[in-house]
């Protein structure tokens, strides 16, 4: 163990907090400094598009239980530069922290629609402050237009319907959640929205917008020549990894910090990147990937913490991506190969509301999506995790 060494962690959301907790658990003597630009107690993001919007009482989605234990938490403190050669992190106030090891866990931020810049009533959703602002606007009982039919857009639509609001999703692609789900499952999700009164319009994009101050409404001009009016507009068109602050660092950045299988940033000996901001080589799939799901951030945190304490016997992030989502009272879970092109899809209905879609390639199961079927999904997930473990153990090329 590296007693008394300093580890600095940039980003105090699920990845950063869980890494701090694991480091402390593994080594009671390590100095751990956790830095986050937001001036909040650490909190978890999944409730922001769900209970925080639809419940009358604001739950507190905090991660604070994991801090304390001698972890120095610098809130409201932006990291503005990292120097891998000198092993230093520079903060917004000009102060410099020297580290023995560092973890970059700066996550991702919503992509903005330039056509909507400066228009009142337009919301993006990533932070607790943004969720609180949206929640307050939804209380005015507005017509809601959600731009983007991914998971976050769909969850906002579902929460707004729970509040009894009029909701339309505008999706530029031919179907919703197309980045993650095969076609039949996208259609099943669209049918779920339709059953619960959400209007879903695919294949048309927003190309312009104006604000009517008298009516306090946003008029959106669509590619198909139509216009749609929303009192509240929520944009959920994907995210970009938060790497800009380290742009001058000489670190490899390509849609995320580029890492090897052990999550070490390439070309460095003591810097790891984890969670949404990490583009790493996943040996299970033999390719680089960046995954924006909560479980990925948590799994990365444990692996990076282990590897900092055990640099000579590192673990590799041969993880199987997994996500969950709650929409219209349905628990949706998805697991497996992030690339689901050219898969065979089988659907099994377990009951009126429970079904499982499994995906296979050459007869081998590579992934699954479940609607209200957590037990069945857990079995498939275990099977996928175990599936290639033997191959990975036998294969020493990454060790
Ligand atoms: C509304 C919403 C709902 C979601 N729901 C689900 C769900 O149901 N299921 C699921 O699997 N996933 C869900 N996700 C995704 C999941 O929350 C993310 O994958 C997870 O939060 C990633 O964690 P992270 O720690 O890597 O990054 P983030 O959560 O993005 O945190 C990064 C942190 O770094 C800080 N930071 C950034 N730059 C700097 C800097 N320069 N200096 C200091 N601090 C900095 C930020 O302030 C932030 O606190 C949801 C995400 C959102 C936004």
pLDDT 10s per residue in the chain (399 long)? 445 799 999 999 999 999 999 999 999 999 999 999 999 999 999 999 999 999 866 767 777 777 777 899 999 999 999 999 999 999 999 999 999 999 999 999 999 999 999 999 999 999 999 999 999 999 988 899 999 999 999 999 999 999 999 999 999 999 999 999 999 999 999 999 999 999 999 999 999 999 999 999 999 999 999 999 999 999 999 999 999 999 999 999 999 999 999 999 999 999 999 999 999 999 999 999 999 999 999 999 999 999 999 999 999 999 999 999 999 999 999 999 998 888 999 999 999 889 999 999 999 999 999 999 999 999 999 999 998 654 454 444 333
| Ligand 1 atom nearest to CA at 295 | 11
Q: Alpha-carbon distance 182 to 367, whole Å? A: 11
Ligand 1 centre and the CA of 127: distance in Å?
8
Strand partners, 273: 104
Cα(first)–Cα(last) distance of the chain, in Å? 20
Q: Report the residue count for the chain.
A: 399
Strand partners, 381: none
| Ligand 1 atom nearest to CA at 109 | 30
Residue closest by Cα to atom 38 of ligand 1: 106
Ligand 1 centre and the CA of 45: distance in Å?
6
Mutation choice for ligand 1 from 39, 89, 242, CB with most ligand atoms inside 8 A? 242
Does any ligand 1 atom lie closer than 6 A to the CB of residue 293?
A: yes
Does any ligand 1 atom lie closer than 6 A to the CB of residue 108?
A: yes
Ligand 1 centre and the CA of 107: distance in Å?
5
Does any ligand 1 atom lie closer than 6 A to the CB of residue 135?
A: no
Does any ligand 1 atom lie closer than 6 A to the CB of residue 107?
A: yes
Residues 173, 202 contacting (CB under 8 angstroms): yes
Residue closest by Cα to atom 28 of ligand 1: 107
| Ligand 1 atom nearest to CA at 14 | 25
Residues 6, 100 contacting (CB under 8 angstroms): yes
Residues 235, 124 contacting (CB under 8 angstroms): yes
Does this model's pTM top 0.85? My answer is: yes
CA distances from 26 to 35, 206, 260, 308 (A): 20, 50, 23, 10
Residue closest by Cα to atom 3 of ligand 1: 46
Domain with CATH 3.30.390 in the chain: 329-394
Residues 54, 161 contacting (CB under 8 angstroms): no
Does any ligand 1 atom lie closer than 6 A to the CB of residue 192?
A: no
Domain with CATH 3.50.50.60 in the chain: 6-109+240-309, 112-237
The reported pLDDT for the residue numbered 388 is: 67
Does any ligand 1 atom lie closer than 6 A to the CB of residue 340?
A: no
Does any ligand 1 atom lie closer than 6 A to the CB of residue 327?
A: no
The reported pLDDT for the residue numbered 4 is: 79
Matching residue, tokens 């312009």: 208
Does any ligand 1 atom lie closer than 6 A to the CB of residue 14?
A: yes
Q: What is the largest CA-CA distance in the chain?
A: 68
Does any ligand 1 atom lie closer than 6 A to the CB of residue 256?
A: no
The reported pLDDT for the residue numbered 398 is: 38
Does any ligand 1 atom lie closer than 6 A to the CB of residue 324?
A: yes
Q: Beta strands of 181-296 (E only): which ranges?
A: 199-202, 206-212, 217-222, 227-230, 232-235, 239-241, 257-259, 271-273, 278-282, 287-289
Ligand 1 centre and the CA of 126: distance in Å?
7
The reported pLDDT for the residue numbered 67 is: 73
Residues 58, 132 contacting (CB under 8 angstroms): yes
CA distances from 177 to 20, 69, 149, 200, 206 (A): 33, 40, 6, 12, 18
The reported pLDDT for the residue numbered 1 is: 46
> Under CATH, which architecture does the 329-394 domain have?
2-Layer Sandwich (3.30)
Domain 112-237 top-level CATH class:
alpha beta
Residues 125, 134 contacting (CB under 8 angstroms): yes
Instruction: Fold for 6-109+240-309, please state it.
Output: FAD/NAD(P)-binding domain (3.50.50)
């Amino acid at each position: 163990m590296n007693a008394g060494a300093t580890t600095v962690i940039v980003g105090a959301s699920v990845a950063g907090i869980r890494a701090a907790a694991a480091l402390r658990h593994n080594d009671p003597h390590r100095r751990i400094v956790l830095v986050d630009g937001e001036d909040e107690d650490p909190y978890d993001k999944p409730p922001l598009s769900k209970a925080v919007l639809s419940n009358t009482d604001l739950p507190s989605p905090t991660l604070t239980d994991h801090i304390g234990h001698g972890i120095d938490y610098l809130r409201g403190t932006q990291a503005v530069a990292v120097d891998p050669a000198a092993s230093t992190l520079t903060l917004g106030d000009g102060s410099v922290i020297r580290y023995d090891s560092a973890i970059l866990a700066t996550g991702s931020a919503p992509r903005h629609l330039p056509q909507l810049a400066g228009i009142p009533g337009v919301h993006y959703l990533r932070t607790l402050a943004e969720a609180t602002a949206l929640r307050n606007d939804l209380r005015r009982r507005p017509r809601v237009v959600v731009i983007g039919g991914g998971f976050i857009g769909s969850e906002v639509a579902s929460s707004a319907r729970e509040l009894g609001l009029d909701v339309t999703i505008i999706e530029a692609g031919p179907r919703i959640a197309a980045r993650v789900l095969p076609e039949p499952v996208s259609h099943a999700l669209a049918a779920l929205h339709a059953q619960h009164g959400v209007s879903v319009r695919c294949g048309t994009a927003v190309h312009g917008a104006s604000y009517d101050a008298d009516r306090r409404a946003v008029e959106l001009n669509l590619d198909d020549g139509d216009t749609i009016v929303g009192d509240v507009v929520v944009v959920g068109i994907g995210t970009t990894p938060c790497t800009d602050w380290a742009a001058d660092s000489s670190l490899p950045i390509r849609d995320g910090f580029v890492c090897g299988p052990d999550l070490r940033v390439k070309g460095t000996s003591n810097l790891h990147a984890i969670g949404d901001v990490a583009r790493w080589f996943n040996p299970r799939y033999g390719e680089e990937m960046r995954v924006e799901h909560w479980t990925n951030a948590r799994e990365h945190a444990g692996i990076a913490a282990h590897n900092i304490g055990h640099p000579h016997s590192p673990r590799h992030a041969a993880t199987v991506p997994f996500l969950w989502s709650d929409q219209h009272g349905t628990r949706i879970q998805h697991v497996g190969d992030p690339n689901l092109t050219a898969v065979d899809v089988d659907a099994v209905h377990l009951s009126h509301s429970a079904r499982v879609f499994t995906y296979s390639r050459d007869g081998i199961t590579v992934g699954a999506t479940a609607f209200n079927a957590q037990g069945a999904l857990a079995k498939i997930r275990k099977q996928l995790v175990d599936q290639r473990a033997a191959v990975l153990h036998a294969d020493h090329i990454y060790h």
